[in-house]
Amino acid sequence: GKHRIVIPCLGHFKEEYEKVSKLYMNNKIRTTKYTLLNFLPRNLFEQFHRVANLYFLFLVVLNWVPLVEAFQKEITMLPLIVVLTIIAVKDGLEDYSKYKMDKQINNLLTKVYSR
């Protein structure tokens, strides 16, 4: 049959525990979508999957062509930037609340049955 090795994280077993525990995944809960490093690129990637944002981006790019320029370039970019900023702030706040809940759940005390 299969055997399971249990190494306590105490005293003289600590080095062996750290060596063996690197081989396995931890059991922490992570429901967040973003990290600090990937927030901006991933959020922009998700936002530009929406047709409305692509439409406004198309208008901005089209307005940079001198032949088609209808408004000032900066004014055309303003609605897109405002919408992207508001959605990014909303997504960031939601993800931060998920992070706080994950941290709270991962730090709960647990009871271990032992004879």
pLDDT in tens, 56-85: 899 888 888 888 777 777 888 898 999 999
Boundaries of every domain in the chain:
29-107
Question: Between helices 73-106 and 51-63, what is the axis angle to 10°?
Answer: 150
Query: Which pTM was predicted?
Result: 0.69
- Residue 3: is its pLDDT beyond 80? no
- The two three-digit tokens of residue 16, written as one number: 């062996």
Rounded Cα gap, residues 24 and 65, in angstroms:
55
The whole-number pLDDT of residue 110 equals 72
How is 28-92 classified by DSSP, letter by letter?
Answer: -----S--TTTHHHHHHHHHTTSHHHHHHHHHHHHHTSTTT--S-HHHHHHHHHHHHHHHHHHHH
